Amino acid sequence: MTDGSHSRFADALSRADEAGLRRTLPTLGKRSGPMLASGDTQALNLSSNDYLGLAADVALHRDFFAGADAVDLDRHGMGASASRLLTGNHPAYTALEEDLCALYGGRHATVFSSGYHANVGICSALAEKGDLFLADKLCHASLIDGMRLSGAKLLRYRHLDYDHLERLLVQHRAAHRDIFIVSESVFSMDGDTADISRLVQLKRDHRARLLIDEAHAVGVFGDRGLGVCEREGCIPDVDLLVGTFGKALGSFGAFAVTDGDVRDYLVNHMRPFIFTTALPPSVVNWSRTTLARSATMQRERTHLHSLAGRLREALRERNITTGGDSQIVPAIVGPNQPACDVAESLRDNGFLAFPIRPPTVPPGTARLRFSLSANMDWDQIKAIPDIVAEHLRRDPSGEEKSNVRC
């Protein structure tokens, strides 16, 4: 690179340092249940998406790998060696998609290599110039990126403001061939949930299509852990339901549930699907294992929601801004550097909760995001509200102090 281009990158990093926005990769160690080695100590991992504890379930892993000393590439193979449209579509894919079909009431299911690939590929494949996306303002970056790549027009309605969405539908319906309403069911930074029933009614009233990303809801909501759409009885009414294996299901990859024509259209037009090497058999078979286990874990889901509600209430009692109604509990600090400082105080006390800063969240709303897991209990987390409150009392102004890189 030329000296000028190197200077541009160095200058950008320097500005990020000054704003308390520079990110670094954490050095972490061995996991043990909800605990994670951080430096020389074990810390309670509050920055994980392992909402049911399946990724850290040693007994389940032991059962899965039982007999693995006899090489079985169809079950434990570590490489797919090709895309699904070539020779990577091993039998485990068919079995997993049949499992999903059975759980989701006979609808067609397709498995993808990651949640990001799924959202970018689905949005960019299904819409084109002349179509319109109406997306919740706080939709995940993968959805935004896919909508921008599509060539369709993108408008964003205010977060969870369905009256605003309805006004946009009335204003723009006649001018567009297809309108896609896009929302997450559980929003990952605020922990709040969408009103899926209202979204279904709006899509019916205005002849739109509805895409719901259930990434943070699969495994956590619904009698069988199928998400908020299951809880609200709306699975048949959602045109595209996207879920992930990489969070509560403790695996890797993603899936979409839709009708047969849309499924076949995606297989033929979705570039991240066509041009990506398939997941290895070991991952796909593990996803079958955790999907089946999750469907039976209603007791763990009840415990998880109880734990989150108790933590949220304890934060409010100490006048700490929080919100949501899911397993994700935010503690909103405001400026970037104080959020880093609170995270450091928590780490000193055995809690691993990384600060969330812009551009992931809006400027002035940096926060700690406590992602809880069903393998935690109240005694493990009850000290958190007092630690956060004490730190904020020591620095009530919220002024930026000497930078702590985090």
Same domain, 42 and 179: no
pLDDT at 173: 96
Q: Is residue 401 part of a domain?
A: no
The pLDDT of 299-307, averaged and rounded, is 98
Q: Is residue 269 part of a domain?
A: yes
pLDDT at 315: 97
Same domain, 242 and 189: yes
Report the domain count for the chain. 2
pLDDT at 402: 43
216 given a catalytic annotation: yes
61 given a catalytic annotation: no
pLDDT at 28: 80
Same domain, 254 and 350: no
Last residue of a domain, one of 294, 326, 357: 294
108 given a catalytic annotation: no
**pLDDT one-digit tens code per residue, 180-220:** 999 999 999 999 999 999 999 999 999 999 999 999 999 99
Q: Is residue 370 part of a domain?
A: yes
Q: Which of 185, 188, 285, 371 is catalytic?
A: 188
Q: Is residue 179 part of a domain?
A: yes
Q: Which of 136, 184, 230, 239 is catalytic?
A: 184
Last residue of a domain, one of 294, 321, 353: 294
Which among 25, 23, 375 is positioned nearest to 219, based on CA atoms?
375
Q: Is residue 376 part of a domain?
A: yes
Please confirm whether the linkage preceding 396 is cis (ω < 30° from 0).
no
The pLDDT of 284-305, averaged and rounded, is 98
Using an 8 Å Cβ cutoff, are 96 and 243 in contact? no
Q: Is residue 68 part of a domain?
A: no
188 given a catalytic annotation: yes
Same domain, 33 and 171: no
The pLDDT of 7-25, averaged and rounded, is 86
Average pLDDT, the chain: 93
Same domain, 265 and 319: no
Which residue range(s) make up the domain with 97? 73-294
Same domain, 210 and 288: yes
382 given a catalytic annotation: no
Q: Is residue 10 part of a domain?
A: no
Kindly give the pairing relationship between strand 254-258 and strand 108-112.
antiparallel
**pLDDT one-digit tens code per residue, 273-294:** 999 999 999 999 999 999 999 9
Predicted TM-score of the model (pTM) = 0.93
Q: Is residue 327 part of a domain?
A: yes
Name the token pair of 314.
């304890």
Q: Which of 38, 45, 48, 49 is catalytic?
A: 49
Same domain, 109 and 26: no
- Domain CATH code at residue 353: 3.90.1150.10
Q: Which of 140, 150, 185, 251 is catalytic?
A: 140
The pLDDT of 25-33, averaged and rounded, is 83
Same domain, 137 and 255: yes
Last residue of a domain, one of 294, 328, 363: 294
Q: What is the 3-state secondary structure (H, E, C) of the chain?
A: CCHHHHHHHHHHHHHHHHCCCCCCCCCEEEEECCEEEECCEEEEECCCCCCCCHHHCHHHHHHHCCCCCCCCHHHHCCCCCCECCCCCCCHHHHHHHHHHHHHCCCCEEEEECCHHHHHHHHHHHHCCECEEEEEECCCCHHHHHHHHHHCCEEEEECCCCHHHHHHHHHHHHHHCCCEEEEEECECCCCCCECCHHHHHHHHHHCCCEEEEECCCCCCCCCCCCCCHHHHCCCHHHCCEEEEECCCCCCCCCEEEEECHHHHHHHHHHCHHHHCCECCCHHHHHHHHHHHHHHCCCHHHHHHHHHHHHHHHHHHHHCCCECCCCCCEEEEEEECHHHHHHHHHHHHHCCEECCEECCCCCCCCCEEEEEECCCCCCHHHHCCHHHHHHHHHHHCCCCCCCCCCCC
Q: Which of 90, 117, 203, 216 is catalytic?
A: 216
pLDDT at 401: 46
Q: Which of 213, 214, 232, 300 is catalytic?
A: 213
Query: For residue 68, is pLDDT > 80?
Result: no
Which among 125, 235, 111, 117 is positioned nearest to 180, based on CA atoms?
125
